Structure 1
């Protein structure tokens, strides 16, 4: 039996306060895929490591959708980065400047 969204949210909140781990149903395919972002800069580098001096392994363009199955962030000095999946990185994990993207 499916519960209406408001009932699910109330139940999840109540159980969360009780210390029980709860996962709520997700709204759409993008949410199911993990953390997804849309590139808003004209071009955005995908770095091997979350560091402005790291090698750029790929370039993404405005409107491209990037992301990963897990939500991770990192910072280097004043720069923030979000994790993206890419075959171009040695470990399959690339990093994009957080200012270059918005959540989808």
Structure 2
């Protein structure tokens, strides 16, 4: 009888963000998705397609990311969402091959 209640409470508290996810959890834990740029230079696009305006350039070793993990595709190209003040809506897009998730 207690097990179903525990499962429901665990699910409810987990959705509310009240549960820690292991020893790395805490105020200093990164939020969202963070990436490290691996290409020598990589563009941050206004929209997720190769014909979009490049609003910023990042370099190998730069850390980029966003508060949510989002991806998009255009033909054979894949893109990941990054936060940038240079984009009109604060949302830029980088080629997924140009970055590795950290």
TM-score between both structures, scaled by the size of structure 2 = 0.77
1:34 deviates by 1.2
Structure 1 residue runs of 5 or longer lacking an equivalent are 1-13
Q: Match for residue 25 of structure 1?
A: 20
Q: Match for residue 71 of structure 1?
A: 69
Q: Match for residue 81 of structure 2?
A: 83
1:1-104 equivalences under 5 Å are 15=7, 20=11, 22=14, 24-26=19-21, 27=24, 29=28, 31-104=29-102
1:97 deviates by 0.2
Superposed CA deviations along residues 34-62 of structure 1, whole A, max 9, x for unmatched, are 10000000000000000000000000000
Look at both structures and tell me which one has the larger radius of gyration over its CA atoms: 2
Q: 1:83 to 1:15 in 2, by over 3 A?
A: farther
Q: 1:69 to 1:53 in 2, by over 3 A?
A: same
Distance 1:85 1:54 in 2: 16
Distance 2:61 2:7 in 1: 38
Distance 2:69 2:98 in 1: 16
Corresponding residue pairs, total:
89
